Amino acid sequence: MSLLDKVRALLGGDAVLEGPASGEVPRVAPPTPDAVALLLGTAHEEGWRVRVEGTGSWLPPDAPADLTLTTRRLDRVTAVEPQDLVATAEAGIGWDALRQQLADRGAWLALDPPGVAGRSLGSVVATGTAGPLRAGFGPVRDHLLGVTFVTGDGRIIQAGGRVMKNVAGYDLTRFQAGAFGAFGVIVLVHLRLRALPRADETLVLEGPAEELLAAADEIRAAELAPAALELLSPALARRERWALAARLVGSPAAVAAEAGDLRALAGGRFAPLRAEEAHAFWSRAAEAFALRPVTLRVGGLPEGGEELLDLVRHQLSDEWVSAAPGLGSIRWAGDTTADRLRRLRRALAALEVPLTLERAPWALRSAVGHFGAYREGVGPLVSGLRHTFDPKGTIVTAVEGDE
Amino acid sequence: MTTVPGDLAAALAGLVGAHHVRAAPAERLAYAMDGLPTHRRLPRLAVLPGTRDEVVAVVRLLADLGVPFVPRGAGTGLSGGALADHDAVLLVLTRLNRILKIDVANRCAVVEPGVVNARLSAATAPHGLHYAPDPSSQTACTLGGNVAENAGGPHCLKYGVTTSHILALEVVRGDGRVVTLGSAGGEPWGPDLVALFVGSEGNFGVATRITVRLVPLPRAVRTLLADFTSLRAAGAAVSAIIGAGLVPAALEMMDHSCIQAVEDSVYAAGYPRDAAAVLLVELDGRNESAVEEEAQQVAGLLTGQGARQVRQAADAKERERLWQGRKKAFGAMGRLSRDLVVQDAVVPRSSLPVVLETIAAIAARYDLVVSNVFHAGDGNLHPNISFDARDAAMAARVEHASAEIMATCIAAGGTITGEHGVGLDKLRYMPLVFDGDSLGAMHAVRRVFDPDERVNPGKVIPIHACREWSGVRNAEFGMRNVRSRVDSAFHIPRSALEI
């Protein structure tokens, strides 16, 4: 029996979206977590290599594999509890659909990941790609209460739960955030929500990057803590010059007070955007990261932010750059080579700063890896964990690269 | 276990000095318990290294000899996690108590594991910064213990629990190898092993250097005390505040019997004695008028849900007094009876009114005094049962009532521990929230860090309930859990040992 026949026998004919006739490997869309487990369990036994995708908008579907497992049919929001500010959603749901269903119930997931609006929830969790709101609401892991994932050998693992605090057992929930699929396929996510903010305002300051970084320092020194404070390159901001954008969310009184304080800084040049302008500003910047071949993030310290930005601009380019000066983190997009990435990674490692490759063609990500070389002693732990959750390497992912 | 050649105490004394090895029975007795009153273990001996290098040397020696060990901070843990069996060495980390660096510009600090939680915030306060997680035991508990347990505290409602505040860790693994996890800016270096390590209850190794995030001290603070004539109304008020989208810095509840205990103690805070429950609500922020407006909104919601009175702390001194009562409530309850079980469970916030009433009914049925003092805003309950462990019949009733309370919380969609950890105490409940595969996965992860299972053996994972994982032989390593059962004051239900 061919692979395709076996998959059809296991999951039914309509689980196979595309056959090899289209020039691609079969794309299989299991309709339930159990079906994902069945597929991966069989793949493990048969020695098939499986690449995983959500809606297919973030990582290119180019990893060498015998089949593609897409979570796109796992697209239900199974529970929204606005009273408890908790929701449960399957991993394949698109971000825009999830956001809308939450908003209908007055709830909000305080994450604004890079990528197109239809990007899947599972993709955001697996790659740990938080956007500018990370400044106020933390990284992706801080929004997770629990995840259900399927290991490379087809076991369904439940981690965490649906409550605000949980220390029952080891934290396999946060551990899944940003693991790039190395430890299984995320099928279900329990999310920590916020109430939809009653006030949401964005103010923008334009100027040379250096001047804006100084303004960001001033804001930080004044202990102003916007939900997002992001420095965007002109192309990303769609402006003539660099832009420093502050997003304030919360009660009308708190937002008004913060906006007043912000305008008092930087020579009173922060200009508010209208609501629809603000929405377009942030979503265009997020989407731009899905349009270049390569996206990466760098996580340093606030104090060294300027130096890191110079390094990234100098060694790569400065067309598509978004930086959170208060956090010392930078996201970059563009086109580059494995050699240049390796060189930048080495320079950053000397500063004790990690570089995570978020998105790239397979040739590049398999060469340099999402993470590259680990620090001393970490490699054996990661390999051990990878072996635990995917003993035969059924799930194709390039966490380490070939260095 | 390997037979230990020669005298272990002498070998350890050679590494850390004779003065820092406690081998005499009377000395070991001081370490026979932690904050959990129902379990008692006499360790083989206790060793107190003074530096990271001494920790490494001690751990290497123990690895060479195949001796199990248990890392321990101040011993304030409430789940029995810091207890060592007669064949295990207690690795006491209280001498590693230096704050190595306070980085004001980057708002972080590097500390050794024995630094007391409150001491760090005191040291950073002159810079306008603090370490936000504030367990009730913060004047005694250590940051190493906080990391191991993923400790919470009242202000974690707004600021997040320990895991959100740990940026990087230097860890000594069970074989003595040292690894650095994470990075100073908080970006994981590879998969997020810091998130995995925090809350692993000592099973993955010993954190010897901890990089923590610091947060600016709030400029504006309002503290409200509201009192209610029913638990149900107080619970509904919590839901009203959360449902309105407000995020108080803290939202705590104390019930009638807890109020009595506090008011009878030296920590009397002026809580109304005739109230069925009080809520302590704190709001903070940068801007006075915005915080004041939120406080007014909260006061309105409290009154709307039936609060008899809403009192606002007039000044810092009154605020401190209100908080002192809350933070010392466990100590105050200790006066009610010889022994106290401090329970810990989490439920969805909207189920608080029903769950609290069910707990009261369970207490009445078993003729026990249950006092509630807890993080209501997180749904993190602490039903505390007063009893006398010398009374076997009463201890049995406590066991049954505890199990029913846990079952109630799980049935409401909750879990068995929110901040105290599993340790020994909650082992028997783990199969109620996780299936065999999920427990097996945790067990397998533990063995990646500690293949010999020598670091804090017998804790967290009920081995018998784990489904077998490739390369992990359960039966061989199940022995410790079996022995735990024998040593426990409580009977472990048969169901907990079955897959």
Say which residues have a Cβ less than 8 Å from residue B140's Cβ, sequence separation at least 6: B74, B76, B116
Q: Which residue of A has its CA nearest to B194?
A: A175
Q: Where a domain ends, among B70, B92, B114?
A: B92
Q: Is B375 domain-assigned?
A: no
Which CATH number fits the domain that encloses residue A267? 3.30.70.3450
Coil, strand or helix: which one is A297?
strand
Tokens of A304: 């060294």
CB contact under 8 Å between A164 and B426, yes or no, is no
Q: Is A382 domain-assigned?
A: no
Question: Do A206 and A186 sit in the same domain of this protein?
Answer: no
ipTM above 0.90, yes or no: yes
CB contact under 8 Å between B413 and A258, yes or no, is no
Rounded Cα gap, residues A274 and B45, in angstroms: 68
Question: Do B198 and B259 sit in the same domain of this protein?
Answer: no
pLDDT in tens, A271-292: 999 999 999 999 999 999 999 9
Task: Give A252-267 as a 3 state SS string.
Answer: HHHHHHHHHHHHHCHH
CB contact under 8 Å between A174 and B181, yes or no, is no
Which CATH number fits the domain that encloses residue B268? 3.30.70.2190
**Count H helices, E strands: chain A?**
14, 19
Q: Which residues of chain A lie closer than 8 angstroms to B414, CB-CB?
A: 161, 163
**For residue B469, what pLDDT is reported?**
74
**For residue A23, what pLDDT is reported?**
67
Rounded Cα gap, residues A15 and A73, in angstroms: 9
Q: Is A366 domain-assigned?
A: yes
**For residue A267, what pLDDT is reported?**
84
Q: Is B305 domain-assigned?
A: yes
Q: Which residues of chain A lie closer than 8 angstroms to B469, CB-CB?
A: 388
Rounded Cα gap, residues A186 and B17, in angstroms: 50
Q: Is A224 domain-assigned?
A: yes
Which CATH number fits the domain that encloses residue B190? 3.30.465.10
**For residue A403, what pLDDT is reported?**
62
* Apex A285 CA angle, A282 and A287, nearest 5: 110
Number of domains in chain B: 4
Q: Which residue of B has its CA nearest to A87?
A: B348
Question: Do B212 and B253 sit in the same domain of this protein?
Answer: no
**For residue A19, what pLDDT is reported?**
65
CA–CA min distance A19, chain B (Å) = 33
Q: Where a domain ends, among B155, B183, B216?
A: B216
Question: Do B65 and B110 sit in the same domain of this protein?
Answer: no
- Which of B177, B346, B435 has its CB closest to that of A377? B177
Q: Is A178 domain-assigned?
A: yes
Q: Where a domain ends, among B92, B108, B123?
A: B92
Question: Do B284 and B230 sit in the same domain of this protein?
Answer: yes
Q: Which residues of chain B lie closer than 8 angstroms to A301, CB-CB?
A: 106, 108, 184-185
CA–CA min distance A48, chain B (Å) = 19
Q: Give residue A109's domain range.
A: 77-195
Question: Do B195 and B235 sit in the same domain of this protein?
Answer: no
CB contact under 8 Å between B294 and A254, yes or no, is yes
- Which of B348, B433, B449 has its CB closest to that of A84? B348
Q: Is A379 domain-assigned?
A: no
**Separation of CA A91 from chain center:** 13
**For residue B471, what pLDDT is reported?**
52
Say which residues have a Cβ less than 8 Å from residue A25's Cβ, sequence separation at least 6: A51, A65, A66, A67, A68
Q: Which residues of chain B lie closer than 8 angstroms to A225, CB-CB?
A: 216, 286
**For residue B379, what pLDDT is reported?**
96
Q: Where a domain ends, among A173, A195, A217?
A: A195
Half-sphere CA count of A370, side-chain side, radius 13 A = 21
Question: Do B251 and B154 sit in the same domain of this protein?
Answer: no
CB contact under 8 Å between A168 and B417, yes or no, is yes
- Which of A155, A157, A174 has its CB closest to that of B195? A174
CA–CA min distance B99, chain A (Å) = 20
Average pLDDT, rounded, for chain A: 95
Q: Is B297 domain-assigned?
A: yes
Tokens of B203: 């099973």
The pTM (predicted TM-score) of the whole model is 0.95
Q: Which residues of chain B lie closer than 8 angstroms to A171, CB-CB?
A: 150, 163, 195-196, 198-200
Q: Which residues of chain B lie closer than 8 angstroms to A148, CB-CB?
A: none
Question: Do B201 and B269 sit in the same domain of this protein?
Answer: no
Question: Do B125 and B206 sit in the same domain of this protein?
Answer: yes
The fraction of chain A above a pLDDT of 70, given in percent, is 99
Question: Do B158 and B79 sit in the same domain of this protein?
Answer: no
- Which of A167, A183, A224 has its CB closest to that of B418? A167
Q: Is A305 domain-assigned?
A: yes
**For residue B4, what pLDDT is reported?**
45
CB contact under 8 Å between B245 and A156, yes or no, is no
Question: Do B226 and B212 sit in the same domain of this protein?
Answer: no
Question: Do A204 and A188 sit in the same domain of this protein?
Answer: no
CA–CA min distance B457, chain A (Å) = 14
The residue written with tokens 């999310």 in the block is: A191
Tokens of B367: 């003729």
CB contact under 8 Å between A177 and B195, yes or no, is yes
Q: Give residue B208's domain range.
A: 99-216
pLDDT in tens, A173-215: 999 999 999 999 999 999 999 999 999 999 999 999 999 999 9
Rounded Cα gap, residues A24 and A18, in angstroms: 8
Q: Which residues of chain B lie closer than 8 angstroms to A377, CB-CB?
A: 173, 177-180
Q: Is A41 domain-assigned?
A: no
Number of domains in chain A: 3
Question: Do A326 and A359 sit in the same domain of this protein?
Answer: yes
Point out which residues pair with B369 in neighbouring strands: B386
Rounded Cα gap, residues B153 and B136, in angstroms: 6
CA–CA min distance A44, chain B (Å) = 13
pLDDT by 10s per residue, chain B, length 499: 444 445 999 999 999 999 999 999 999 999 999 998 888 999 999 999 999 999 999 999 999 999 999 999 999 999 999 999 999 999 999 999 999 999 999 999 999 999 999 999 999 999 999 999 999 999 999 999 999 999 999 999 999 999 999 999 999 999 999 999 999 999 999 999 999 999 999 999 999 999 999 999 999 999 999 999 999 999 999 999 998 889 999 999 999 999 999 999 999 999 999 999 999 999 999 999 999 999 999 999 999 999 999 999 999 999 999 999 998 998 888 888 888 888 999 999 999 999 999 999 999 999 999 999 999 999 999 999 999 988 999 999 999 999 999 999 999 999 999 999 999 999 999 999 999 999 999 999 999 999 999 999 999 999 888 887 765 544 343 334 433 333 333 333 333 333 2
Q: Which residues of chain B lie closer than 8 angstroms to A45, CB-CB?
A: none
Q: Where a domain ends, among A268, A288, A308?
A: A288
Q: Which residues of chain A lie closer than 8 angstroms to B470, CB-CB?
A: 153, 388, 391
Dump the DSSP string for B27-46.
Answer: HHHTTS--S-TT-----SEE
CA–CA min distance B441, chain A (Å) = 7
Question: Do B117 and B200 sit in the same domain of this protein?
Answer: yes
Q: b/e for A128-146, b at 16 or more Cβ within 10 A?
A: bbbbbbbbbbbbbbbbbbb
Rounded Cα gap, residues A362 and A1, in angstroms: 30
Rounded Cα gap, residues B285 and B279, in angstroms: 20
CB contact under 8 Å between A302 and B107, yes or no, is yes
**For residue B473, what pLDDT is reported?**
47
Rounded Cα gap, residues A322 and A332, in angstroms: 6
Q: Select the residue from B415, B460, B470 to test the A interface by mutation, using most A Cβ atoms within 10 A.
A: B415
Task: Give B366-396 as a 3 state SS string.
Answer: CCCEEEEEEEHHHCEECEEEEECCCCHHHHH
Which CATH number fits the domain that encloses residue A368? 3.30.70
Q: Which residues of chain B lie closer than 8 angstroms to A193, CB-CB?
A: none
The residue written with tokens 């980057």 in the block is: B106
Question: Do A92 and A162 sit in the same domain of this protein?
Answer: yes
Rounded Cα gap, residues B211 and B216, in angstroms: 16
Rounded Cα gap, residues B432 and B23, in angstroms: 39
Which CATH number fits the domain that encloses residue A92? 3.30.465.10
CA distance to A49, B164, B187, per residue, from A138 (Å)? 34, 8, 11
Question: Do A168 and A241 sit in the same domain of this protein?
Answer: no
**For residue B472, what pLDDT is reported?**
58
Q: Which residues of chain A lie closer than 8 angstroms to B188, CB-CB?
A: 128, 178, 354, 356
Q: Is A36 domain-assigned?
A: no
Question: Do A90 and A111 sit in the same domain of this protein?
Answer: yes
Rounded Cα gap, residues A60 and A119, in angstroms: 13
Say which residues have a Cβ less than 8 Å from residue B219's Cβ, sequence separation at least 6: A223, B285, B286, B287, B288
Question: Do A279 and A314 sit in the same domain of this protein?
Answer: no
Question: Do B187 and B224 sit in the same domain of this protein?
Answer: no
Rounded Cα gap, residues B270 and A188, in angstroms: 47
The amino acid that residue B72 corresponds to is R
Question: Do A261 and A156 sit in the same domain of this protein?
Answer: no
Q: Where a domain ends, among A151, A168, A195?
A: A195
- Which of B183, B189, B415 has its CB closest to that of A168? B415
**For residue B389, what pLDDT is reported?**
86
Q: pLDDT-based confidence at A21, cuts 50/70/90? A: low
Question: Do A84 and A172 sit in the same domain of this protein?
Answer: yes
Q: Is B23 domain-assigned?
A: yes
Q: Select the residue from B433, B448, B468 to test the A interface by mutation, using most A Cβ atoms within 10 A.
A: B448
**For residue B480, what pLDDT is reported?**
43
CB contact under 8 Å between B185 and A328, yes or no, is yes
Question: Do A110 and A188 sit in the same domain of this protein?
Answer: yes
Residue pairs between chains A and B whose CB atoms are closer than 8 Å? 257
